Structure formats: structure tokens, C-alpha cells
């Protein structure tokens, strides 16, 4: 296990891309402290800001208020990153494998364009969770993201594959322009969920205001949801009673795209 404890709060954003298990593997603490990290426009070293202890194994523990540290574990392919505190923007963006656990909040674009692996956020997530960068054709493209708290706007925007589950509320444009994949919100979704949805499923346990391009299709009990809930339970998420076996109202849309997508709203009755 390698532990990085924040000893000096960066004044400007610190680019933390170097903090990945791939990079740390087999390196002694001194070598890790010598890895580069841009502090604003100045080249700096991880050791300038972090107290580094450990043996260069696949497991990294980060401790401190890391809201100014961007792109932690971005692009990682293996191992585990545990964050005791809040993480900055782009946490695990473009990650391909391994696992990230945040015991705090995560910033905007967490898990953006994720291509594999798992991210578990115990607190809240910012905007663009599992989403796409501006101009990108695709957001998250495999993997699993779980948020115990709330998430911001554009959760799973342009998502292509994978599962995102938010226990709290989600902001506006949840699953906007989503291509495929599954997105589950236990709380309330903001306005315009599923705008431009091509295929894929958006599930909400609370009533939602839908766009005029959605049509009620039927009320059903989809089996696949049960499987997803079981999987989420195994990952440590608590699933509200009844939702695994209950009925859902299926709305198909978005008819401005193919109309092959669906929004499933839990039928409270």
C-alpha cells in the first residue's frame, strides 16, 4: 500500500494524472515523491505537496482535502485507489480498469469517458459524471459508477455502455444524448432527463417530468433491473425495498432520435 497524505494545500490547481497504480507500481516512496505534477503553470513534484509512504504496491490511499487536485487516477488500468477526503475534477476520467473508492465528494467530470473499472463515491458527485468532454462523440463506454449521495447535471451524457447508479438526486439532462447503457437514479431527476436518448435505459424511482418527445408504452417488471440491483447490492449499495420486484411505467423515446430508448419510472402504487 502506498499512502499519500496532503501536507500542503496547492494554491492553484494541481494536475494529479501521475497518481495511478500503474505509475506507482514497483516504485519506492522516494521515486513516487519525485513524480512530476503541474501546479498551475509551474512544474512541481508530488513530494512538494504529499507526504509519501509505502512500497509501490497496486493499492494507493490518498488522504486530505484534494478538491484542488485534478485528474487523480485518470486513465488507470489496474489496482485500487482509495480517497479519504474530497477529490477534484476528472477523477478516474478515461479509466480502463481497477477500482476507485471515495470517502467524500468527487468533483465534476468524475469518470468521464470511463472505459472500464469501478468508481464508488460515498458522498456527492459533481456535473458530467460518467459523461463526455465537449465535442466528444462518446461518454462512458464500459464500467460501473455508484454514487451514494447526489450527482450534478448531465450524468451519463452521451454514455455508450456501462452502468451508473445514483442513490440520491440527479441534476438536469440526466442521460442526455445517451447512446446505450443503464442509468439508475433512486432520487429525483432534474428536468429534461433523456433528451436526445438514442437507446439505453434510464430508471428513476421517483416521478419525473418528461419531454414532449416521450410516449407512455406499458407498465412492466423488467428482469434485467433485478439483475442490476443484485449486482449493485453486491457492490455495497443499499437498494430501497420493493424496487427490485415492483412495476415500472415504460416511456419510449426520444422520438427526435430513434425512439428506441426507454425511461422506466417506478410505479409507486
Q: Is 26 in the site for other proteins (CB under 8 A)?
A: no
Neighbour tally for 26: CB within 10 Å: 9
Is 128 or 143 the residue whose CB approaches other proteins more closely?
Answer: 128
Q: Which three cell numbers stand for residue 60?
A: 494507493
Residue linked to cell 461518454:
139
Give least dist CB 44 to other proteins, A: 10
Neighbour tally for 41: CB within 10 Å: 6
Q: Give the DSSP H or E segment for 238.
A: none
Neighbour tally for 96: CB within 10 Å: 17
Q: Is 103 in the site for other proteins (CB under 8 A)?
A: no
Quick check: 250 and 260 in contact, CB under 8 A? no
Task: Report residue 78 CA to chain centroid gap.
Answer: 17
Is 42 or 241 the residue whose CB approaches other proteins more closely?
Answer: 42
Q: Is 9 in the site for other proteins (CB under 8 A)?
A: no
Is 191 or 198 the residue whose CB approaches other proteins more closely?
Answer: 191
Q: Which residues does 114 contact at the CB level (< 8 Å), separation at least 6?
A: 92, 93, 94, 95, 130, 140, 141, 142, 143, 145, 162
Closest alpha carbon to 37 in 68, 2, 76: 68
Is 103 or 133 the residue whose CB approaches other proteins more closely?
Answer: 133
Which range, of 78-86, 125-133, 226-234, 243-251, touches other proteins by CB under 8 A?
125-133
Q: Which three cell numbers stand for residue 243?
A: 424496487
Q: Is 41 in the site for other proteins (CB under 8 A)?
A: yes
Select the residue interacting with other proteins from 57, 78, 133, 244 (CB under 8 A): 133
Q: Is 75 in the site for other proteins (CB under 8 A)?
A: no
Is 167 or 176 the residue whose CB approaches other proteins more closely?
Answer: 176
Q: Is 113 in the site for other proteins (CB under 8 A)?
A: no
Largest CA-CA distance found in the chain, in angstroms, rounded: 61
**Pattern 141-180, binding to other proteins, x per CB under 8 A?**
-------------------------------xx--x----
Phi, psi (rounded to 5 degrees) for 118: -130, 140
Is 99 or 108 the residue whose CB approaches other proteins more closely?
Answer: 108
Select the residue interacting with other proteins from 187, 255, 260, 267 (CB under 8 A): 255
Strands 161-166 and 141-147: parallel
Binding residues for other proteins, rule: CB under 8 A, are 11-13, 15, 38-42, 68, 89, 108-109, 127-128, 133-135, 172-173, 176, 191-192, 195-196, 211-213, 255-256
Amino acid at each position: 500500500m502506498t499512502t499519500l497524505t496532503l501536507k500542503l494545500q496547492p494554491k492553484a490547481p494541481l494536475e494529479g494524472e501521475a497518481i495511478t497504480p500503474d505509475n506507482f507500481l514497483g516504485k519506492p516512496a522516494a521515486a513516487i515523491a519525485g513524480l512530476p505534477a503541474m501546479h498551475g503553470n509551474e512544474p512541481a513534484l508530488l513530494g512538494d505537496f504529499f507526504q509519501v509512504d509505502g512500497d509501490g504496491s497496486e493499492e494507493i490511499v490518498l488522504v486530505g482535502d484534494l478538491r484542488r487536485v485534478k485528474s487523480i487516477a485518470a486513465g488507470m488500468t489496474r489496482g485500487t485507489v482509495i480517497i479519504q477526503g474530497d477529490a477534484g475534477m476528472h477523477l478516474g476520467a478515461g479509466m480502463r480498469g481497477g477500482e476507485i473508492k471515495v470517502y467524500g465528494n468527487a468533483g465534476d467530470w468524475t469518470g468521464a469517458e470511463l472505459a472500464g473499472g469501478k468508481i464508488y463515491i460515498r458522498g456527492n458527485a459533481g456535473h458530467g459524471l460518467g459523461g463526455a468532454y465537449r465535442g466528444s462523440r462518446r461518454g462512458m463506454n464500459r464500467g460501473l459508477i455508484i454514487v451514494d449521495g447526489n450527482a450534478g447535471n448531465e450524468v451519463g451524457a452521451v454514455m455508450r455502455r456501462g452502468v451508473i447508479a445514483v442513490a440520491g438526486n440527479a441534476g438536469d439532462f440526466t442521460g442526455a444524448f445517451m447512446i446505450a447503457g443503464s442509468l439508475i437514479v433512486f432520487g429525483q431527476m432534474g428536468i429534461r432527463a433523456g433528451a436526445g436518448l438514442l437507446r439505453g435505459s434510464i430508471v428513476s424511482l421517483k416521478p419525473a417530468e418528461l419531454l414532449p418527445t416521450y410516449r407512455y408504452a406499458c407498465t412492466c417488471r423488467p428482469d434485467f433491473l433485478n439483475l442490476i440491483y443484485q449486482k449493485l447490492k453486491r457492490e455495497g449499495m443499499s437498494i430501497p425495498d420493493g424496487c427490485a420486484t415492483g412495476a415500472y411505467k415504460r416511456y419510449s423515446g426520444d422520438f427526435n432520435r430513434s425512439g428506441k430508448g426507454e425511461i422506466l419510472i417506478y410505479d409507486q402504487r
